[in-house]
Copies of this chain bind each other. A is one copy, B any other.
Amino acid sequence: MDITEFRKRGKEMVDYVADYLETIEQRQVYPDVEPGYLRSLIPEEAPDEPEAYEDVIQDIERVIMPGAASPACTELETVMLDWLGKMLRLPKDFLAGTEGQGGGVIQGTASEATLVALLAARSRIVKQIQAHDPQRSEVEIISKLVAYSSDQAHSSVERAGLIGGVRMKKMSTDGKFAVCGETFRKTLEEDKASGLIPFYFCATLGTTPSCAFDRITELGPICNAEGMWMHIDAAYAGSAFICPEFRPLLDGVEFADSFNFNPHKWLLVNFDCSTMWVKRRADIIGAFKMDPLYLKHDHQESGLVTDYRHWQIPLGRRFRSLKLWFVFRMYGLRGLQAYIRKHVGLAKEFERLVRNDERFEICADVVLGLVCFRLKGSNELNELLLRRINGARRVHLVPCQLAGAFVLRFAVCSRTTESRHAQEAWRHISELASELLRGQKR
């Protein structure tokens, strides 16, 4: 949608809200619909091609308003997560459908998804152990649990362990900054030999420092064999998996218990919207379920209704699935794929510019929209360069540490980034580097 249309549509939306408020007393206080009403009113999959804005907005009265805030908010979320799951070609186990055991939910951030998965895993292992050995207390079992992640995993993974009160071990990574099966197997054997209980592994697809991919086709079967919960955090990279050429990066997801990524990072959905899927919804509900009278409802035990409050930390919920619905329909799958490909293309373009300059080196494979690079030379030199780049306030870079090296990160992540921005950024960085190196020589 261009700016001219945005002005028009935005103002129509203001009138829509005003009209709604002016006539609200003519509406029912409680909807009339049956559980599951919404799914049959819309297609089973996201459209391939963009739809007209008029068609999208007309569906608000047809699809949403009859179900008001609730159950429309819940039902649209379930169906949108199915749409998105199909766009990613997730195994069917992760979809809700009408009879599935799994399904998706919108969390606020990947930190929450990682934590929810860890708590669900903790609750599941405690129940499993107590089923065989009712004498063992929850506290004693928890004191033996170990969770695992990569030493490249996001800080929120370690934080989830801290909150859940369990040990969290960071595994070392290979030359590609990925956790591989052999390291994992060895660590597990050692830990089991010393009486610990491995219960949770958080794999990362697209690490924050360098966009590395843990080898989940090796790691998944190990988790399954050990009865451990495997969660996959693909916060940034997940959006790319809607493109067939990037989908192989997700191979191995079939071994996972839960999977999460952030459409608010790279799929044109405004913050916050972190989408999470689980294979067995009973696992996640088991960790949180509370049913006071003031939250009971008629369809409580029918199995027809999803109570997302049991799937997350907060109780209240916003109607975030509307953002997904609008974006999927306004862009279509092809529009979203084109958007991802354009960003990857811009990163590759920037990578070529860096590689053509002998003063610089590329520090990790450029797989998606992130380029890790540095001046050949000391960390101090690169810290100085970063300080000059960010001090000039024309480009903003966030650094990382890779195998002891201080590394600069060029991330393509704005809706409006074009080739000229990548070119200008490089010219600017390259000039600042020249200045810096001249100063060093003197």
A15 within 8 A of B: yes
Say yes or no: A318 contacts B400, CB within 8 Å.
Answer: no
Closest residue to A310 on the B side, CB-wise? B159
CA of A159 to CA of B287, assembled, Å: 9
- How far does the Cβ of A123 sit from chain B's closest Cβ, in whole Å? 8
- How far does the Cβ of A216 sit from chain B's closest Cβ, in whole Å? 23
Instruction: State the number of copies, please.
Output: 2
CA of A3 to CA of B232, assembled, Å: 47
Say yes or no: A164 contacts B162, CB within 8 Å.
Answer: no
- How far does the Cβ of A233 sit from chain B's closest Cβ, in whole Å? 12
A322 within 8 A of B: no
CA of A231 to CA of B433, assembled, Å: 53
Stretch from A16-24, A55-63, A244-252 at the B interface: A16-24
A115 within 8 A of B: yes
**1/0 per position for A288-302, CB-CB distance to B under 8 A?**
101111110000000
Chain B residues closer than 8 Å to A400, beta-carbon distance: 293-294
Closest residue to A421 on the B side, CB-wise? B25
**1/0 per position for A238-261, CB-CB distance to B under 8 A?**
000000000000000000000000
- How far does the Cβ of A13 sit from chain B's closest Cβ, in whole Å? 8
Q: Which of B165, B208, B390 contacts A139 (CB 8 A)?
A: B165
Stretch from A37-45, A174-182, A391-399 at the B interface: A391-399
User: Which residues of chain A from 286 to 332 have any CB-CB distance to chain B below 8 Å in the complex?
Assistant: 287-288, 290-295, 313-316, 318
User: Which residues of chain A from 104 to 155 have any CB-CB distance to chain B below 8 Å in the complex?
Assistant: 108-112, 115, 119, 122, 137-140, 142-143, 154-155
A185 within 8 A of B: no
Give the total of A residues in contact with B, Cβ under 8 Å: 69
- How far does the Cβ of A380 sit from chain B's closest Cβ, in whole Å? 15
Stretch from A4-12, A186-194, A222-230, A341-349 at the B interface: A4-12
Chain B residues closer than 8 Å to A109, beta-carbon distance: 314-316
Known contacts A271-B316, A292-B155, A393-B30, A14 near B10 by CB under 8 Å: yes
Among A6, A14, A109, A390, find the residue whose CB has the most chain B CB atoms closer than 10 A.
A14
A29 within 8 A of B: yes
Q: Which of B13, B159, B295 contacts A290 (CB 8 A)?
A: B159
A356 within 8 A of B: no
Closest residue to A415 on the B side, CB-wise? B21
Say yes or no: B28 contacts A393, CB within 8 Å.
Answer: yes
Say yes or no: A316 contacts B3, CB within 8 Å.
Answer: no
Can you identify 19 A-B contacts, CB atoms within 8 angstroms?
Answer: A3-B21, A6-B17, A10-B14, A14-B14, A29-B394, A110-B315, A112-B314, A139-B143, A143-B143, A155-B290, A162-B288, A163-B313, A164-B165, A208-B292, A271-B318, A293-B399, A293-B401, A294-B409, A313-B313
Known: A30-B393, A163-B313. 5 other contacts (CB 8 A): A3-B18, A3-B22, A29-B396, A139-B165, A293-B400
